[in-house]
Structure 1
Amino acid sequence: MFSCHRQFTTITSRTFFNHNRLITPPLLLLPISSSINQRRKIVLRKNSKSWIIKSLGQERAKTVIQSDGEEEEKDNANVIINKEEEEEKKCNRDRKVDVLVAAAATVVLGVGNRVLYKLALVPLKNYPFFLAQLATFGYVVVYFSILYFRYHAGIVTDEMLSLPKAPFIAVGLLEALGAASGMAAGAILSGASIPILSQTFLVWQLLLSAIFLGRRYRFNQVVGCLLVAVGVIITVASGSNNGLSIKEASVFWTLLMVTSFFLQAADTVLKEIIFLDTAQRLKGGCVDLFVVNSYGSAFQAFFICLLLPLLSKLWGVPFGQLPSYLKDGAVCFLNIGSLSNGCQGAPLLPLLFIIVNMAFNVSLLHLLKISSAVVSCLASTFSGVFIVPYKNDFTKHEFGHMFSWVLFQMIATVGCEGFQVHKQ
């Protein structure tokens, strides 16, 4: 009221002195007071509205910001999950490629190993036992030399070298006993019987993997393995007829050969257990395969030394004549002296066999490390009859052998495609 009164008096004074504008005070007072009240009400309403709108805007902004933050967190989580899935898929693809490449390399080296072994026996046809011992003890020197350089390069650590040696002792013992029993039975059994009996190796692999590794195989995987074995049997059965067949040989020698393949299967499964166990001991790391090869070969050579009297007898060399036999074998291997007649091709062919055989063993162990013992067994089996035998005269029998080889390739390929390791 005081402000209105001031405005009123001021305006009336203006009307008193302004003779040109004759406006009565009542007419001036009412619109001014109403405009002032309206103006105040509008101002107050504007302020209240702006305050209400402002407060509501802040609440909505906070809600929008919170909802946007939650959506961003969800989006970030989804992006991380998608990246992890993509990386896992990529790792699986890379692992499959690595397994396929390693399997192919194992098959190729397996074929070369078998071919070069036959070629190495051409100059050393009278000294096969010398070649076997040269390979056994030569591997120890070569493997430990490679292990030495890998240790100084930082690839092999002190933790790997300090692993318990009991599993490696068991590996060496199984390999030595498997070789001894195989030599003993192989001296009686020959021809198509040994490759046919060797297919029990795959059966032992499946059983031992299921028992000790907890593997469970689907029906198509078991059928795939059996198809590979059937393909080998068909191929070998159509081949050479030399030597005693399974029916002609005694049950003892047949069971001894089957036992030999059981020991070899146990050896490969034990190596897979070593890789799995050391991965836990090394906290996610994995033992270098040359550690396994070096210690395994060293203990194998030790047990072979203990079994030398038996092994030399199995090879037709009396134990008392063993030093002179090894000396003559070394002369023939070096292709020097008067005793080197008929040793043409040495030492090149035997050295090539030893080199390829070592590469084959390393490749086989690498395949076992990145896949499983059964997959490595399949690769080794597949390489066993991957060579097409031929003669200059393409007879009817040779045509049948060729047909059997093609049939094996078809059956074995279907079997390998049907087999994929399934772990639970």
Structure 2
Amino acid sequence: MASYCRRITAGAVVSDRTIRLRQSSRTAEILRLPRNYLNQQRPVIVLRSRLLVVEAVGSGGGWERSEGGGREEKAVGPCSYSLAENRTVEAEESTSRDRTVKIAVAAAVTVVMGVGNRVMYKLALVPLKHYPFFLAQLATFGYVIVYFSILYLRYQAGIVTDEMLSMRKGPFLAVGLLEALGAATGMAAGAILSGASIPILSQTFLVWQILLSVIFLGRRYRANQLLGCFLVALGVIITVASGSSAGQSLKEAGIFWSLLMIVSFLFQAADTVLKEVIFLDAARDLKGGSVDLFVINSYGSAFQAFFIFLLLPFLSKLWGIPFSQLPNYLKDGAACFLNIGTLSSGCEGAPLLPLLFVAVNMGFNISLLYLLKISSAVVSCLASTFSVPIAVYVFTLPLPYLGVGSSLPAGFVAGAIVLIMGLLIYAWTPTVSTSE
């Protein structure tokens, strides 16, 4: 009988093989019965709401209602179910509230870590201003060691199971490839485009995520959610572009490099949607369980490092470093990072600032993946996007090693208002009216 369970929308009138249902809450789970069952038994409904009206089809059996507003009901007959509706509703409402709070807290942590990530990257480049490519490789290959060390400790503690580690590695390889391609194309375009134009083009990331979620996850978005996403992207563009020469920079760089940067965000969006698919598949393959974050982070980072290693000749050329001179460049970068030797002049702040960046960046990636796990790719993208105008404001403050901050763009307040309106509209849930 359990195999016939399905979910319907509130107020819907289902086929004559089931039950006509009207209720005040949004959804209820009903027991769908075989065609010949209606001639013998009374259909049974599993109650999930406080206010419920049932119009049963067929004959046989009956319903008993207790006094006190219908808080307790049970179906009687050959297929009886004892139902404690009040306890079920309260438990579901509590679970829903807990999930909302969990998502809100995770989103807030992601925003904070996103701001810290942008700020610390700028600070890390103060001592390593001549070695940004070294910093990128330090993060890429360093994460493999750190993530697998954490994965080993969590496996020893019993948090990571053998079933998790035996999951198919094909999706993880695809994650690593997408991340490597995103980094490669982003570096290539970033070397030509100005810093002000990149955050503007990065708003295509949200568009890609929505499209890919619709195509590969079958997700459908309400009109208010699409409008909210549009306003969030528009708010960031207004915030960053106001008072800057971003538009002129895009014209000077040419359409090819702008399109290449947009393609890099396509790779990154595909990466996050693929991770959401991995979480969904894991819930099925692990029989309701969930794969640990560090399984995805560890294997994804390992495959990303592998593909980055293959692309090193191409990437080093993008940074203006002949491949034959790459070993000496990495050696000098390591000396500056450790702040030792004759090249330590001008490397003040190392290794503390680069290590802080790596730690914050790792925390940002973990918080972003956790938010993706409990919500969706679009929600995680919105949280990351929200950190952009906050980071713009933080850079106006007198930060250590950066000196006097820059002034706010002319349209900062207007852009921030539009962005916040977009978030509120996205989060708004329209009230569903029910027919009597």
User: What TM-score bracket applies, with the shorter chain setting the length?
Assistant: 0.7 to 0.9
Cα pair 1:196 1:236 within 8 Å, conserved: yes
1:408 alignment partner in structure 2: 415
2:209 alignment partner in structure 1: 205
2:396 alignment partner in structure 1: 390
Q: Relative CO higher for 1 or 2, CA cutoff 8 Å, sep ≥ 6?
A: 1
Equivalent of 2:303 in 299, 305, 318 = 299
1:122 partner letter = V
2:353 partner letter = L
1:228 partner letter = V
Distance, in Å, in 2 between the alignment partners of 1:347 and 1:122 is 11
Q: Secondary structure at the match of 1:374?
A: helix
Distance, in Å, in 1 between the alignment partners of 2:308 and 2:165 is 23
Shift of 1:190: 1.1
Q: How many residues are treated as equivalent by the alignment?
A: 353
Distance, in Å, in 2 between the alignment partners of 1:421 and 1:310 is 46
Give the direction of change, closer, same or farther, for the CA distance of 1:102–1:121 in structure 2 (3 Å limit): same
Give the direction of change, closer, same or farther, for the CA distance of 1:142–1:85 in structure 2 (3 Å limit): same
1:118 alignment partner in structure 2: 122
Distance, in Å, in 2 between the alignment partners of 1:87 and 1:343 is 57
2:183 partner letter = A
Match status 1:343 vs 2:347: yes
2:187 alignment partner in structure 1: 183
1:137 alignment partner in structure 2: 141
1:156 alignment partner in structure 2: 160
Cα pair 1:193 1:244 within 8 Å, conserved: no
Match status 1:272 vs 2:272: no
Return the structure number with greater strand share. Answer: 2
Shift of 1:245: 1.6
Distance, in Å, in 2 between the alignment partners of 1:96 and 1:124 is 41
The aligned runs of 1:35-184 (5 Å cut-off) are: 75=72, 77=74, 80-184=84-188
Give the direction of change, closer, same or farther, for the CA distance of 1:214–1:358 in structure 2 (3 Å limit): same
1:314 alignment partner in structure 2: 318
Distance, in Å, in 1 between the alignment partners of 2:272 and 2:174 is 11
Normalised to the residue count of structure 1, the TM-score between the two structures is 0.79
Shift of 1:89: 1.0
Which deviations, in whole Å up to 9, do the C-alpha atoms of 1:3-28 show, x marking residues without a partner?
xxxxxxxxxxxxxxxxxxxxxxxxxx
Cα pair 2:224 2:428 within 8 Å, conserved: no
User: Percent of pairs identical after alignment?
Assistant: 70
Distance, in Å, in 2 between the alignment partners of 1:272 and 1:382 is 21
Distance, in Å, in 2 between the alignment partners of 1:174 and 1:309 is 18
Normalised to the residue count of structure 2, the TM-score between the two structures is 0.77
Which deviations, in whole Å up to 9, do the C-alpha atoms of 1:22-79 show, x marking residues without a partner?
xxxxxxxxxxxxxxxxxxxxxxxxxxxxxxxxxxxxxxxxxxxxxxx96679946476
Q: Computing the radius of gyration over CA atoms, which structure comes out larger, 1 or 2?
A: 1
Distance, in Å, in 2 between the alignment partners of 1:391 and 1:162 is 48
Cα pair 1:312 1:319 within 8 Å, conserved: yes
Distance, in Å, in 2 between the alignment partners of 1:243 and 1:230 is 15
Match status 1:362 vs 2:366: yes
Q: What 5-or-longer segments of structure 2 have no aligned partner? A: 1-62, 75-81, 430-436
Q: Secondary structure at the match of 1:419?
A: helix
Distance, in Å, in 2 between the alignment partners of 1:230 and 1:72 is 55
Distance, in Å, in 1 between the alignment partners of 2:354 and 2:397 is 24
Q: What 5-or-longer segments of structure 1 have no aligned partner? A: 1-68
Distance, in Å, in 2 between the alignment partners of 1:386 and 1:218 is 27
Return the structure number with greater helix share. Answer: 1
Q: Secondary structure at the match of 1:283?
A: coil
Distance, in Å, in 1 between the alignment partners of 2:238 and 2:247 is 18
Give the direction of change, closer, same or farther, for the CA distance of 1:304–1:279 in structure 2 (3 Å limit): same
Shift of 1:204: 0.3
1:390 partner letter = T
1:130 partner letter = F
